[in-house]
Structure 1
Amino acid sequence: MNMLRRLGLAAVLLASTVTGAYAAPLKVALLVPGHANDGSFNQVAREAAEKLATDGEITFELREEMADPSKSEPVIRQYAAMGYDLIIGHGIELSEPILKIAPDFPKVHFAASGGPDLAGRLLGNVDGWTYDFGQQGYLGGFIAGKLGGVSTFGMVGGPELGFVKASHNGFKAGLKEGKPDAKVIEAYTGSFDDAQKAAEVTRGMVAQGAKLVWTSGDGIGNGVAAAASQEGALTIGVTGEAGGFAAKVNIVSVVLDMHPTYKAYVDDIKAGSFGKKFFVSGIGNKGLIMTKVNALGESLPADLDSQVEALIADLASGKKTLPNFFE
């Protein structure tokens, strides 16, 4: 799906409908599984909603720690009964409660998150979202391949799940484009949150010669950053401040930007075209973006931003395509 082109069409449709039922800001409930100040997955959802609120598109209420369905189901049902225009479940843990409750409230709009299989389960008042895990890894590898002075790279992941492995496959593919002879040391910790295990693995990789360690995880990034700082290595992929270590070791990360997707939800509701759409955040539609480069030790080309923009343009236009990184 070319999200940017679809967004442009939605904007045209919106121009003729804003005087209708949704002339006022939409009332939105945003549920996240963790804490919305985590500097990562949960925070990007909050920041996207805040931007829409600042722009006058929505008002919203945020509910945190909604990973347990027994806790989230009554909350979702309450917001629906109160007549909220849009209820967003940001996280795979919220998809089943939303799909269960949505049929009872056909006039309320719902947005669920999940894997690719969610696309076939959407309802007339439910949109779906995921992000391209392989592309996230690929862009990290693409950047790592531009890094001077490094020939051995570490890769630290959480559980050895399909989407995590896809991210790793993407990183290796992106790295190979710039450094076909690079040595890669890869490991999985078995957990998204075990920072201590991630630190141990990172120290082992540095001992084997890795001067840069990339991480595909969220919470484990804290351990990767701490160990890299102690061992004199650099990182790519650490999100948030990581206890203050990210500023010292992390060169750049590839992060989600939920604003394009949330804006599309709002535009489609106002245009009367919401429902059964599946959004995939990727490089080409700028749902996955590169953070500002933190110049640390090793060299990156001065025109890296331009190279990444060219990559985005080529993917958006179809000039360049990436393989399916899922095994």
Structure 2
Amino acid sequence: MNKMLRTVAALVIAPGLLLTACGDPQTDKPKTPKGSGTGSAAATGTQAGGTLPENEPDVNRDGKVVIGVMSPGDTKDKGYYQSFVDDTQKFADENGWKLTIVDKINPANAVQQARNLCLQRVDMIAIGASELKDALSASTEPQCKGVTWYISGGQGVKQTPAFTQSLDFINESLYAAGYAAGLILKENGGKKAGYITGPDLDFARAVAKAFTAGIKSVVPDAEVIENYTGDFNDSGKANEAANAQLSQGVKVIYPYLGGATDSVTRIANQKGVPALTPGTDRCGAAGGGVKYAISVIFSPGAYFAGALKDFKEGTLRMGVAREWHLGKDPVPTVKLCEPKGDQEAKLNKLIEDIGSGRLNVDDAVAGKQ
């Protein structure tokens, strides 16, 4: 399985993007539907190898625990970036810890922002997306001595002894997302799906490829129309792409975006076209005046919660990556918000087959089976 993990993702200024979650052609966050797997070492919080820092979680022994969060995106985007902060804040509140959040960080300023957090005597620096991976270079500087480092891993994040990361896999989540979208296309008689994202980057193309393969596994003659707007958050550009796709007859649409996600989905809702989420679980009551048909869940906050649990227990090791797999762990996963007939059973079976290895999803995306 090649490892180009979600930047989700995380270059997701959107989501993996996400897919955090985006690293392997297999990288906006989480709940567990039926059939999504029973969990593994990644889900239960165990890690092997690496080194164990002293005195976790109060690594600087000042009597309090402070987590510094760095995000390239808006942590109030109702999606990928916000999920990282929401889950972290919940954990911090439950344990009497303090959270220091710095968001909308330009990657060019990542190292300096990390230095600033170290000078504020944080116990951990948590980097919410791989666009800010350069911040990790500050880990060896004197002012950051003893600080624990975590990153939502992804494309271009090379593991070193200085930090720990979480990884998920584009092909797993996005093939399943495409399969779910294919089930909806088959139900509504459509032959076209839309995919709208931001910059035309390698991981975004990998997401599109896996999504398309999943759709075609259900509707072989389906067409996926792709639009790369150049910006995950620019609603004007995203809306223009959505209107163009809808005029071409798309019957399901995937806004793999950040701040522009709801804007596109609102337009799709008005036309009666189902939409997918880029990372979070938004099935149920509509929020912000929008409704989703499929939740594609690879929230960086859910992955980080596992690391925080270990950190609290003094068992979070540096120098190792924790992998999260569809069908094995509670997240990532995909669910239909209002399944019809046997759609849920079919989707759950696919997820189980990916998790068990009965379906080699990398081969499926590559067209080898």
Q: Which residue of 2 aligns with 1:38?
A: 77
Q: Which residue of 2 aligns with 1:278?
A: 321
Residue 254 of structure 1: how far off its partner (Å): 1.0
Residue 249 (structure 2) pairs with residue 209 (structure 1): yes
Residue 164 (structure 2) pairs with residue 127 (structure 1): yes
CA contact (8 A) 2:130 2:155 kept: no
- CA–CA separation in structure 2 for the residues paired with 1:78 and 1:179: 52
2:357 to 318, 322, 326: 318
Larger Rg: 1
Q: Are residues 314 and 22 of structure 1, via their aligned partners in 2, closer, same or farther at CA, if it must alter by over 3 Å?
A: same
Residue 92 of structure 1: how far off its partner (Å): 2.5
Residue 308 (structure 2) pairs with residue 266 (structure 1): yes
CA contact (8 A) 2:173 2:334 kept: no
SS in 2 for 1:186: strand
Q: Deviations over 1:14-36 (max 9, x none)?
A: xxx9xx76499843222222222
Q: Are residues 292 and 60 of structure 1, via their aligned partners in 2, closer, same or farther at CA, if it must alter by over 3 Å?
A: farther
Q: Which residue of 2 aligns with 1:225?
A: 265
CA contact (8 A) 1:222 1:242 kept: no
When normalised by structure 1's length, the TM-score is 0.78
Alignment-mate amino acid for residue 275 of structure 1: M
1:93 to 118, 125, 131: 131
Higher mean C-alpha displacement, 142-151 vs 258-267: 258-267
Alignment-mate amino acid for residue 127 of structure 1: T
Higher mean C-alpha displacement, 2-11 vs 195-204: 2-11
Identity of aligned residues (%): 21
Q: What's the RMSD between the two structures over aligned residues?
A: 3.6
CA contact (8 A) 1:212 1:235 kept: yes
Q: Are residues 48 and 291 of structure 1, via their aligned partners in 2, closer, same or farther at CA, if it must alter by over 3 Å?
A: farther
CA contact (8 A) 1:102 1:110 kept: no
- CA–CA separation in structure 1 for the residues paired with 2:295 and 2:94: 27
Higher mean C-alpha displacement, 142-151 vs 106-115: 106-115
When normalised by structure 2's length, the TM-score is 0.70
2:208 to 156, 168, 180: 168
1:198 to 238, 241, 245: 238
Q: Which residue of 2 aligns with 1:290?
A: 334
CA contact (8 A) 1:26 1:266 kept: no
Q: Which residue of 1 aligns with 2:44?
A: 8
Q: Are residues 106 and 143 of structure 1, via their aligned partners in 2, closer, same or farther at CA, if it must alter by over 3 Å?
A: same
Q: Which residue of 2 aligns with 1:257?
A: 299
- CA–CA separation in structure 2 for the residues paired with 1:28 and 1:204: 43
Q: Deviations over 1:195-220 (max 9, x none)?
A: 22322222222222222222222234
Alignment-mate amino acid for residue 89 of structure 1: I
SS in 2 for 1:125: coil
Residue 42 of structure 1: how far off its partner (Å): 1.1
Q: Deviations over 1:59-99 (max 9, x none)?
A: 433222233543x5444224334443211011223211222
CA contact (8 A) 1:157 1:215 kept: yes
Kindly report which structure 2 residues correspond to 1:79-118, keeping only aligned pairs within 5 A, or say none. 79-104=117-142, 105-118=144-157
For CA contacts below 8 A with separation 6 or more, give which structure has more relative contact order.
Answer: 2
CA contact (8 A) 1:215 1:224 kept: yes
2:189 to 145, 150, 165: 150
CA contact (8 A) 2:127 2:150 kept: yes
